[in-house]
Structure 1
Amino acid sequence: MLLSEAKWVFLGFILCISEGRHICVLKGSFVNLTCPEAESAGSTMWYTAIRNESVYSLKELPADGNYITHNVDENYNATLTIVEVLERDETVYCCQKDPKKAKLCWEKGTELHVADLQVKVFPASEGQKVTLMCTTSCALTESPAAFIWYQNTEVLYEDWSPWYQELVSSENSVRYSCAVKGYEELRAPEVSVDSVTPACFVVKYAKGRMCAQKSVDEPCSVTYPRDVRVQVNQEASISTLTCNSSCPAAVPHTEFRWYLSRMLFPECESQVLTAYKLSAHITCAVKSNEDLLAKEICLDPNCINANYIRSRVCMLEGSSVNISIAYSHQPPHPFWFKITRIVEGMIDTVVRVEYSDRVKGWWDNQRVLHTLRIHDLKKNDSGEYMFSLHICEHCRNSDLPGVMLVITGLKVTATPSAEVTEGQKVTLTCTTSCPLTDTVYIWYFNSQPLDLPEIQSKHLVLNPVGHQHAGNYSCAVKTPQNINSTTEALTVKARQQSVMINNILKLAVILLIPLVGLTLCTMMRRRKSVSVSEEIKDETELVDPLCVRAKPRVKNPPTEGQQEQQQEDAM
């Protein structure tokens, strides 16, 4: 895919490969280590291998509750399982029959690195905002299926990219966390961004390695500068270097890291470094947040300084990207590489980037700015890119980061759901895997562009939503390529009250139909009865009233006793 489409050329060997194997697993997870040296059950033993300069030693592993040694399988593979990996388990593991060959066991062993998740916070170039990233202290051997992001303990979304998809402003009531899918119980400690100013930003951590100055198990608040730079004060052969910060409030609580000739100088973590006859490339950074890196300088006028224009780049799939590096003066022929790392300062593989129709490189007019341009970006173009003046410069380890490139697609997501009830508030988001900057969004409804009065953003709010809003939505980013998202269907159901009213009306109509029919029938009968009466009346009016005689009512004559009684009653 990437190798064929981009015409990258693998140099035929893996550079910077170290002795033995390296694996990185999450703290609290389990790991299986396989020993191919076994020939029969019980013929090999597992050891931890220790190297002290040129002296090697082995320590036999007990089969206790944390380390479980399995039997040899049919392929003669002995397996060591560590049930719950902790920091104390970071070492070299090896297996063999002869415990006296310690050096051989160490060379063929597997070095275990234990990673914990942490949400790192970096200053963004856009206004007073920051960006978040779900990071591990080493590159996980098992590539994460996805990263899950949480806000105030509630799941926000999951995505393949560790980069949080939004830029974040200061809001101390909002807490962020992340996890690797499949290991949700090993979630990163929560962080909140308390304040962001042009000079500083303050982050509150629930716990974790960012709180190492106090206690990794207790909450802490850390003030970071948005920018650092190296200041030089030279007297004769003595150079005094100061890692100046844009945030004076952060200095008393900040530890620094110094890099000489692009390698970490671990002996000094103070703000000031004093050196004698120093001619190396020099830069400094904030400890535990090494992306806050100062521009490289050099005290020797003959050496060439090199600084990347941007250290993190988020681009749309299908678009084009420029990755640039500025030099103090024109260097010889440059080379670009795409690298992978095992842990900080330890590069695993280095692949040279070959130019093609899709991949170009050029200098500016002054030949001090070199740019790598990649057209028609693919998702697997994502990775770390480094620039070198020599093919083999990165055959050794390098502690300085390159440029991290993340390629994202576009999709529309609906919150709280794509199926809602009229009257609710619905937010449609043009979602990316990383935060795009300086972006203009375009929204479409049923393939027609929406004419919105305000400047369109990545969020489209429908409040309240009605049945007229039901349909297919998509978004696009205004670029020369006009990159569009897939469509999202929004379904709007009638409210429960409306449904009840409709049901009542239906029932009323059903009940009224026979009532109306009965009324009409009664009215028709009355009309018919009136017509008959009128006809009889008309016939009666034709008869002579003098000829009509009333029929006398015949009564029985009273007896003598009745007559006497009637007389007494009358008296």
Structure 2
Amino acid sequence: MYPVTVQHSLLVAFLLSLKGSYIHSAGDICAPVGSTAHLSCPYKCSNKYIWTLNKKRLNVFKSDRKKYSLDTNTCSLTVQNLNETDGGIYRYCKTDVDDDDDDDCRKRCTTTLCVTDVQVSVDVNRVTEGQKVTLTCHTSCPPNTQSFIWMKNTQRLDLPHFRNELCFDGVSSEDTGRYSCALKHYKSFSSAERFLNVSYVMIVSTGIIIVSSLLVLLTLMMIGAAVWRRRKNLRRREENESNTQSTIHGLPYTVYENVRAVPSTTFNMKRIEKSGHEDEVQHGYVNFRTFPKA
């Protein structure tokens, strides 16, 4: 059996990091679904010890090799393609004793694995500029035990913290984008993206509102005055036409009609002109008929 070296350990860590896993020490582990968890055990492998899950023997060698792999140098266990059924307490215990006897298990290898989904939620439905907004990264990990990273449009945000909340005291249109989160060492297993749409709201001062209201009121008054003046002129025109009709039919004044020329006797009249001739003048009579006033 080859001795364990620092170079070998670093190589194992690098290879596991390429697979989206993270080497944990004994204790509590929280990993996303689909990822890989490496359960550290600093002891050399021995046939006298086996791995157990929830106090049930785990047949590492007889199981699917794509699921489990065992480091023969340190007996660290790697669990790949995690799902919820892989969660529980992993222990490295003797084979010839009862699994309930914790004293016969390697305490430095005991690890509690939690497999979780990762989701993002927004505390408000409609987001407008200047509003306070909080995005939360939800997992089933024990509270305050994990570090989180945040991404915007698939690019990691440079934040001064690793909390599961991303807070905006006053959002702007520049904050619009697709946000996702992940456990710190599992960036490739991030949550589904949540689109944050920040609506633009025009802020109008009180003075502008007052001036606009006065202009609208003045315009309405001018329109009303024009309509009233037009109606008045139309009414006056109708009254004049009505008076004209009534004078024609009602005869409020004397009308002279049937004016005709009546022939009369012809007489000679001497006109004193320079030429000395006599002109013949014909006269006519006009009969005037008066009608009584109505």
TM-score (norm 2): 0.50
| Structure 1 CA distance for aligned equivalents of residues 205 and 127 of structure 2 | 14
Cα contact 2:93–2:99 (8 A) shared by 1: no
Question: What's the counterpart of residue 117 of structure 2?
Answer: 409
Instruction: Give the Cα separation in 2 of the matches to 1:313 and 1:373.
Output: 13
Q: 1:385 matched to which residue of 2?
A: 90
Q: Report the equivalent of 1:430.
A: 137
Tell whether 2:35 aligns with 1:319: yes
**Structure-2 separation of matches of 1:353 and 1:503:** 77
1:375 equivalenced with 2:80 (yes/no): yes
Aligned CA distance change for structure 1 residues 335 and 470 (closer, same or farther; 3 Å):
same
Secondary structure of 1:332 counterpart: coil
Question: When you count strand as a share of all residues, which structure comes out higher?
Answer: 1
1:441 aligns with 2:156: no
> Could you tell me which residue of structure 2 aligns to residue 488 of structure 1?
194
What is the CA-CA distance between 1:471 and the residue it aligns to?
A: 5.2
Structure 2 counterpart SS, 1:404: strand
- Residue pair 1:319, 1:481 contacting (<8 A) in 2 also: no
Structure 1 residue 374 displacement after superposition: 0.7
**One-letter code of the match for 1:430?**
C
Which residue of 1 is the match for residue 248 of structure 2?
A: none
Q: 1:358 maps to what in 2?
A: 67
DSSP-derived class of the 1:370 partner: coil
Q: Deviations along 1:517-550, whole A, 9 cap, x unmatched?
A: 579x79xx9xxxxxxxxxxxxxxxxxxxxxxxxx
Q: Give the Cα separation in 2 of the matches to 1:442 and 1:423.
A: 21
The 5-angstrom pairing of residues 290-309 of structure 1 reads 309=25
**How big is the shift at 1:319?**
1.7
Q: Mark the CA change 1:394 to 1:463 in structure 2 (over 3 Å): closer, same or farther.
A: same
CA contact (8 A) 2:146 2:183 kept: no
> Residue 148 of structure 2 contacts residue 181 of structure 2 at CA under 8 Å; is this kept in 1?
no
Aligned partner of residue 394 in structure 1, secondary structure: coil
Structure 2 gap ranges (5+): 1-23, 231-294
Deviations 1:157-190 (A, max 9, x none): xxxxxxxxxxxxxxxxxxxxxxxxxxxxxxxxxx
- Quickly say closer, same or farther: Cα 1:363–1:437, change in 2 above 3 A: farther
Runs of 5+ consecutive residues of structure 1 not aligned to the other structure: 1-307, 341-349, 526-571
2:47 pairs with 1:332? yes
**Contact 2:181-2:190 within 8 A present in 1 as well:** yes
Change (3 A) 1:457 1:363: same
**Cα distance in 1 between the residues matched to 2:211 and 2:150:** 42
Aligned letter for 2:46? Answer: P
Q: Distance in 1 between matches of 2:42 and 2:67?
A: 23
Q: 1:490 to 1:309 in 2, by over 3 A?
A: closer
Is the alpha carbon distance of 1:503 and 1:486 closer, same or farther for their aligned partners in structure 2, counting shifts above 3 Å?
farther
Aligned residue for 2:30, secondary structure, equals strand
Q: What's the offset of the Cα at 1:463?
A: 1.7
Q: CA deviation at 1:372?
A: 0.8
Alpha-carbon distance change, 324 to 449 in structure 1, aligned in 2, over 3 angstroms: closer
Which residue is equivalent to 1:394?
A: 98
Q: CA deviation at 1:331?
A: 3.0
| Aligned residue runs from structure 1 range 41-60, under 5 A | none
Provide the identity percentage. 24
1: CA distance between counterparts of 2:84 and 2:167? 29
Query: Retained in 1: the 8 A contact 2:177–2:197?
Result: yes
Letter in 2 for 1:375: Q
The match for 1:464 is 170
What letter matches 2:139 in structure 1?
T
Partners of 1:442 and 1:337 lie apart in 2 by 35
Structure 2 residue aligned with 1:474? 180
C-alpha offsets along residues 117-146 of structure 1, whole Å, 9 cap, x if unaligned? xxxxxxxxxxxxxxxxxxxxxxxxxxxxxx
- Partner Cα distance (1:388, 1:377) in 2: 23
Q: Which residue of 1 aligns with 2:271?
A: none
Mapped partners of 1:351, 1:377: distance in 2: 18
Aligned partner of residue 363 in structure 1, secondary structure: coil
CA distance in 1, matches of 2:83, 2:145: 19
Structure with the largest fraction of helix = 2
Partners of 2:111 and 2:205 lie apart in 1 by 57
- Measured after TM superposition, the shift of residue 362 of structure 1 is 1.7
1:181 aligned residue: none
CA deviation vs aligned residue, 1:477-516 (integer Å, no higher than 9, x gap): 5657611212334465778986999987886675455356
Q: Counterparts of 1:132-171 in structure 2 under 5 Å?
A: none
Where do 1:529-544 residues align within 5 Å?
A: none
CA RMSD, 1 decimal = 4.4
Question: Structure 1 CA distance, aligned partners of 2:209 and 2:66?
Answer: 66
The residue type paired with residue 432 of structure 1 is T
Aligned length: 196
Distance 1:426-1:498 versus aligned 2 partners, 3 A rule? farther
Q: Deviations over 1:354-405 (max 9, x none)?
A: 34212111222xxxx2111011211221111121231x52355447774211
Change (3 A) 1:353 1:426: farther
Q: How does 1:191-270 map to 2 (within 5 A)?
A: none
Alignment partners' CA distance in 2, 1:351 and 1:493:
57
> Is the Cα–Cα contact under 8 Å of residues 338 and 353 in structure 1 kept in the other structure?
no
Amino acid at match of 1:386: R
Q: Deviations over 1:21-52 (max 9, x none)?
A: xxxxxxxxxxxxxxxxxxxxxxxxxxxxxxxx
